[in-house]
Amino acid sequence: MFDDARSKNLIFVAHCILNQNSISDGTAVFPGSINELLQLFMDMKIGIVQMPCPEFLCLGLDRGNTEGSKAPVVEENTRIRESMNKHAIQDKINQLVNNLIFQILEYRKHGFQILGIIGVNRSPSCGVETTSDNNREIKGSGLFIEALRRELQKQHISIEIMGIKASEIDIALSSVKSIIEPK
């Protein structure tokens, strides 16, 4: 089954890697997508699965802030994290995670290889090694990645999760290559 031209290799990426238009005001580094990463995936014939943007889906494009980019990024990210940490929104995050787990299980059931999950560091939702809290960038994960890790562990699914920063594209490319290149 599925023995056609597809590579059966996939990478799951944070929504904003493919769509910088979805992130909070004042944080976009690229006009559309992070082209260098997309080109890398295309050159290596890796399918790209865009994860949902929990902040956009829970708080909207403006994240509930009509002042836009007037506050420093880590202060705005802290405000977003606090908004996302409410019980009703946590339920929505868990629903988004469960939808993602379903996709992962379906792909694996049919012999596809998931090479990794890429989040975006400093994000209050999709940060992997760093997130924002207390008006600063700190070590730790964003709320969506935390929930995803818990569910992956519960389901006994092992997938490498790594974070990048769009503003550090050379480091990002090197890091991503380390998990997608054949060993």
Range of the domain at 67: 9-180
How large is the average pLDDT for residues 66-78? 88
Is residue 123 in some structural domain? yes
User: Would you state the pLDDT for residue 11?
Assistant: 98
Is residue 2 in some structural domain? no
Count of domains forming the chain: 1
CA distance 28 to 102: 30
List Cα–Cα distances, 32 to 23, 35, 40, 77, 165, in angstroms.
11, 8, 16, 21, 15
Is residue 18 in some structural domain? yes
User: Would you state the pLDDT for residue 142?
Assistant: 98
**Predicted TM-score (pTM) of this structure:** 0.95
Is residue 27 in some structural domain? yes
Is residue 69 in some structural domain? yes
Is residue 3 in some structural domain? no
User: Would you state the pLDDT for residue 3?
Assistant: 87
How large is the average pLDDT for residues 51-65? 95
